[in-house]
Amino acid sequence: MANVAVIGAGFVGLSSAYWLMQDGHQVTVYDPAGAAGGASFGNAGTFANYACIPVNNPSVFRDLPRYLLAGDSPFRLRWSYLPQLTPWLLRFLASSSRRRYTASATALSHLLARAQDGYTQMTAQASLAAYVKPSECLYLYSGAANFAASESTLALRRSLGVNFTVQGRDEIARLEPGLAPIFDRGVLYQGSWFLSSPADFLRALQASLVARGLQMAGSAVTGLQPQSGAVHVSTDAGPSGHDWVVVCAGAHSKPLAHQCGDEVPLDAERGYHIMYPGASRLISRPIGWAERGFYMTPMEQGLRVAGTVELAGMKPQRHQGLLDLLHFASKRAVPGLGEPNAPWLGFRPTLPDGLPVLGRSRDSARVIYAFGHQHIGVTLGGISGALVADLVAGRAPAVDLAPFAASRFAG
């Protein structure tokens, strides 16, 4: 039995703790905010087993000017942040060639094909199963031209094993009568599901693990120093030593990787959500609107509208224009909505090739990375945790981790 530190109490971190404890290890999770204190709190709650298309793709060369300049764009760049962002942006554009985009999509598809394996055993617990809703995601297009523009990515998804059916106007209306009749086509992704409260799911998972011996440390990790046979962990409450350390700190992982010999071009995508209290009855499943870049998900607290992307670093100031866009577009899609509340801003960890970092650090095999999951941390949390446990145990991982190694950014 090893003494393992996990840094971060989001979906990836607590899933890692779960699978490590299944192997009999003593686990301590470090996170000053506790379960779901970061991006894991405010996401759309979707298990998106279809999400193998990375943001970096050849269409960005055509669409980026429009995204940057259009007033209704779901993508925003804060120009004062551009000097700091430029190295990341250049890598992003380089990763958007057809060859590299296809390679990223293929690697993601292999990970996503095993994603359900990471949750099946975990969600068999009654305290967690209560939050799992089996309704499949419906992704919508408000015009024939918009759907036609998506056909190449849909073909790639299908070739990579994603199962879906295309829905026409009448089928969309039968599935979701609360929607406005403005959607020309839809795609129903088979095997997807959602959580009625992502934060409460994680809190229930944390509680079940604590009952089995998990140690929760509310201190922030400030430094890692690999040593022979161990890893020295510095925190704001003092030092500690562990046999292994797992870095699952999301958008905060970059300096920890640097201390372990890896220069990872990690940045943050600022994502937003608003809530419509008492409105979850208006739709029965997660619904995405392709052109507007957001999801609507019925949750216990109401209807959550989550999405958009802002590249502006990790300052706490919200972009009111993106919140207004979520409000305007969601009410156009679902006319029965009232007024939203609880605006939220979170920081998704993003890497320029659209892939997470999974694997061992350069300086020590005892430091394992599991961060940078971008928009699919909920989906990949369970399988990422299982892969972490494989690495600690010395088992061959269930997925080839070479495409996800931190060393891919060297040089």
- Distance, in Å, from the CA atom of 297 to the CA atom of 43, rounded to the nearest integer, reads 10
Cβ 286 vs Cβ 45: under 8 Å = yes
Count the neighbouring beta carbons within 10 Å of the beta carbon of residue 317.
10
**Tens digits of residue pLDDT in 24-50:** 999 999 999 999 999 999 999 999 999
Burial code of 30-48, b = ≥16 C-beta within 10 A, e = fewer? bbeeebbebbbbbbbbbbb
DSSP state of 338: -
Neighbours of 349 (CB within 10 A): 27
What is the spatial distance between Cα 264 and Cα 361, in angstroms, rounded to a whole number?
11
Q: What percent of the chain has pLDDT over 90?
A: 91
**How high is the pLDDT of residue 120?**
98
Q: Per-residue pLDDT tens for 365-408?
A: 999 999 999 999 999 999 999 999 999 999 999 999 999 999 99
Kindly list the structural domains of the chain, giving each domain's residue range(s) and its CATH number in brackets, ordered by start: 3-40+200-264+354-409 (3.50.50.60), 50-96+130-193+266-350 (3.30.9.10)
CA 172 from centroid of its chain's CA atoms: 27
Assign 67 a pLDDT band (cuts: 50, 70, 90).
low
**CA–CA distance, 132 with 124 (Å, rounded to integer):** 10
174, 133 contact by CB (below 8 A): no
205-249 confidence digits (pLDDT tens): 999 999 999 999 999 999 999 998 999 999 999 999 999 999 999
- Amino acid occupying residue 340: P
What is the three-class DSSP state of 205? helix
pLDDT, mean over the chain = 95
d(CA 211, CA 215): 10
Nearest to 369 by CA among 408, 405, 409: 405
Beta strands, E only, 183-316 = 185-189, 193-195, 215-217, 221-227, 230-235, 238-242, 244-247, 267-276, 287-289, 294-299, 302-311
Q: Cβ(44)–Cβ(133) under 8 Å?
A: no
- State residue 73's pLDDT score: 76
| pLDDT number for residue 74 | 80
Q: pLDDT confidence of 303, banded at 50, 70, 90?
A: very high
Separation of alpha carbons 350 and 265, rounded Å:
9
pLDDT tens sequence across 177-201: 999 999 999 999 999 999 999 999 9
d(CA 135, CA 279) in angstroms, rounded, equals: 17
Q: What is the pLDDT of residue 55?
A: 86
pLDDT confidence of residue 71: 66
Q: How many CA atoms lie within 13 A of 176 on its CB side?
A: 35
Strands 302-311 and 75-77 come out as parallel
DSSP symbol at 109: H
Type and span of the H or E element at 107? helix 98-113
Identify the helix (H) or strand (E) that includes residue 387.
Answer: helix 377-393
pTM score of the predicted model: 0.96
Which SS3 state, helix, strand or coil, does residue 291 take? coil
The better pLDDT of the pair 71, 172 is held by 172
Is residue 75 pLDDT above 90, yes or no? no
3-state secondary structure at position 216: strand
Strand partners, 4: 27, 244
